[in-house]
Amino acid sequence: MPVKMLLNKGKVPVKIYTKEVESSALDQLKNIALLPFVHNHVAAMPDVHTGIGATVGAVIPTKGAIIPAAVGVDIGCGMTATRLSIKANQLPDNLKAVRRAIEEAIPVGFAKHKSIRAKNSTIIALDKVLDKQIIGKHPAIAKMLKKTYQTWTQQLGTLGGGNHFIELCLDENQDVWIMLHSGSRGIGNVIGRYFINLAKKDMEQHITQLPARDLAYFTEGAKHFDDYVEAVHWAQEYALFNRREMMRLIIEAVRKPLPPFDITKEAINCHHNYVAIEEHFGEQVFLTRKGAISAYDGELGIIPGSMGAKSYIVRGMGNPESFCSCSHGAGRKMSRSAARRCFSQDDVEIQTQGVECRKDKDVIDEIPGAYKPIEEVMENQNDLVEVVHTLKQVVCVKG
């Protein structure tokens, strides 16, 4: 079976789907497993690596408590993909115009649209909850994000930075796909940071011993528990809308440089940094997937490789040992700073050959060589998911 390593140094075991785990990630997993409210075991996906606060690639079932740092600050970060009706041989020989069209339509990094691009009904629904029920109770959140309303409304339909991307891909049948990776942008970041710090302050007041300060948590029924649950679910919904809006804008943008096409498959849209209420091993739990996607039996998901590598549309197999989860991507094998030390701009050009993308020094930390081989990651989870489509990008827009 794909469980490659069993860690028995906590209150519950940790089942790890790879043998390639850095010692700092093992320490983080051990600390999570020491918490008294973790249910049955912790699962670590084959792309597992050290994260900020908690391990990326960890699936954590908890009873009566949630760890904000395990969810992280890019709340609701995830993937969406849509198949078009055109084939590879219908694409223009030079794809630079396609990349430029996407870059002009979608702000990246900290940028936002010049005006609100999302539906008015979406903005009204989101604003009602954020303004009255989240910021109304925690006004300090608004002070953490400059021009709060303008920023979150105009960032709907934008990419962000880091490892977020938009790609035009080809599958094994030479069908064309649009795929993207993004999350809850600036507003999700400040919500995450605010509640992570609030959990730490609450724990300090109660003098609760923790295996690591970053694992501060809210217990069910405590003062800020319900507020965090409401805020995190709002941010997850925002991230979902952000990806949908972005996909709509991208499809509009590429109609000019591409031949006429239809949308042949409804978009797959899945989170990989989030918390949900699910039932596992006979108990209802708060299941946190930090760098992992839901893989219930028959459920479709997306597992991207690095810039220049393959990606996969998968179907879940509902494996209970992984809490019906699988990896969210290839997973980093070196930090961003280490990648910048190890690789050059020439390396980027070599490793992204055949892909229309940026190849400048500012994307060195996203070079394929900084990530685990996606084929190995997929082999290590062959009883968690089955591959439906194998994608290879021909255009990549980075944040």
Q: What's the pLDDT tens digit per position in 35-88?
A: 999 999 999 999 999 998 899 999 999 999 999 999 999 999 999 999 999 999
Name the strand (E) or helix (H) holding 17: none
Given a cut of 70, whether residue 323 has pLDDT beyond it is yes
The reply, when asked if residue 261 is annotated as ligand binding, is: no
Residue 83 — φ and ψ, nearest 5°?
-95, 135
Q: What residue has token string 């439906």?
A: 388
Q: How many C-beta atoms surround the C-beta of residue 165 within 10 A? A: 23
Q: Is 272 annotated as a binding residue?
A: yes
Q: Residue 85: its pLDDT value, please?
A: 96
Q: Is 330 annotated as a binding residue?
A: yes
The answer to whether 320 is annotated as binding is no
Q: Which residue has the tokens 């220049």?
A: 308
Query: In 3D, which of 164, 347, 380 has the Cα closest to residue 272?
Result: 164
Helix (H, G, I), strand (E, B) or coil at 259: coil
**Can you read off the two tokens belonging to residue 339?**
């990648």
Predicted pLDDT of residue 52:
87
Q: Residue 1: pLDDT above 70? A: no
Query: Same domain for 361 and 285?
Result: no
Number of domains in the chain: 2
Higher pLDDT, 306 or 100: 100
Q: What is the mean pLDDT of residues 329-339?
A: 91
Q: Residue 177 pairs with which residues in a beta bridge?
A: 83, 169
Question: Quick one: pLDDT at residue 334?
Answer: 87
pLDDT, average across residues 177-190: 98
Q: Would you say 273 is a known binding-site residue?
A: yes
Give the active site residue among 49, 138, 328, 389.
Answer: 328
Cα–Cα dist 178/267, whole Å: 9
Distance separating alpha carbons of residues 164 and 85, to the nearest angstrom: 25
Name which of 281, 31, 338, 329 is nearest 164 in CA terms. Answer: 329
Residue 205 and residue 259 in one domain: yes
User: With bands split at pLDDT 50, 70 and 90, how would you rate the model's confidence at 204?
Assistant: confident
pLDDT band with cut points at 50, 70 and 90 for residue 284: very high
Residue 199 tokens read as 């959990």
Spatial separation of the C-alpha atoms in residues 98 and 118, rounded to whole Å: 23
pLDDT tens readout for residues 2-45: 899 999 989 999 999 999 999 999 999 999 999 999 999 999 99
Tokens of 77: 């970060």
Place of tokens 């904000």: 68
Question: How does DSSP assign 224-286, residue by residue?
Answer: THHHHHHHHHHHHHHHHHHHHHHHHHHHHHHTTTS----B-SPPEEEESEEEEEEEETTEEEE
pLDDT (tens digit, 9 = 90+) per residue, 342-388? Answer: 999 999 999 999 999 999 999 999 999 999 999 999 999 999 999 99
Secondary structure (3-state) at 153: helix
Average pLDDT of span 102-123: 96
pLDDT at 321: 97
Instruction: Answer yes or no: is pLDDT of 207 > 80.
Output: no
Domain that holds residue 264: 5-333+371-398
166 annotated as ligand-binding: yes
Tell whether residue 307 is among the known ligand binding residues.
Answer: yes
Q: Are residues 295 and 366 located together in one domain of the fold?
A: no
Residue 398 assigned as binding residue: yes
Range with lowest mean pLDDT among 94-103, 116-125, 178-187, 204-213:
204-213
Q: Is the dihedral of CA 325, 24, 41, 182 positive or negative?
A: negative
Any binding-site annotation on 89?
A: no
**Strand intervals (E) in 116-235:** 165-170, 175-182, 218-219
- Please compute the mean of the pLDDT values over residues 154-178 and round it to a whole number: 96
The answer to whether 24 is a known ligand-binding residue is no
Dump the DSSP string for 163-193: T-EEEEEE-TT-EEEEEEEE--HHHHHHHHH
Same domain, 72 and 191: yes
Task: Say which residue the tokens 């303008």 belong to.
Answer: 150
Closest CA to 26 of 2, 1, 49: 49
Residue 280 annotated in active site: no
Domain with residue 118: its CATH number is 3.90.1860.10
Residues 347 and 286 in one domain: no
Residues 157 and 50 grouped into a single domain: yes
Would the annotation count 66 as a binding residue?
A: no
DSSP 226: H
C-alpha dist (Å) from residue 346 to 174, 310, 360, 367: 29, 21, 9, 11
Instruction: Report the C-alpha gap between 280 and 3 in whole angstroms.
Output: 18
In which residue are the tokens 């940071």 written? 193
- Together in a domain, 159 and 198: yes
Regarding whether 357 and 211 lie in a shared domain, the answer is no
Euclidean distance between the first and final Cα of the chain, in Å?
A: 37
Q: Cα(32)–Cα(54) distance, rounded to whole angstroms?
A: 8
Please tell me whether residues 278 and 357 are part of one structural domain. Answer: no
Task: List, as one string, the DSSP characters of 334-390.
Answer: S-HHHHHHH--HHHHHHHTTT-EE--SGGGGGG-GGGB--HHHHHHTTTTTEEEEEE
Q: What pLDDT is stored for residue 399 in this prediction?
A: 80
234-277 tens-digit pLDDT: 999 999 999 999 999 999 999 999 999 999 876 799 999 999 99
Residues 355 and 341 in one domain: yes
The token duo for 353 is 């050959």
- Report, as an integer, the average pLDDT of 96-106: 97
Q: Is residue 60 helix, strand or coil?
A: strand
Helices H / strands E in the chain, number of each: 11, 18
Q: What integer is the mean pLDDT of 175-204? A: 96
- Describe the crossing of helices 185-205 and 225-254 by its angle, rounded to 10 degrees: 160
Does 380 lie in the same domain as 360? no
**Domain match, 158 and 256 both:** yes
Predicted TM-score (pTM) of this structure: 0.95
| Confidence at residue 166, expressed as pLDDT on a 0 to 100 scale | 98
Give the C-alpha separation, 398 to 357, whole Å: 8
> Annotation-wise, does 389 bind a ligand?
no
Across 197-210, average pLDDT: 86
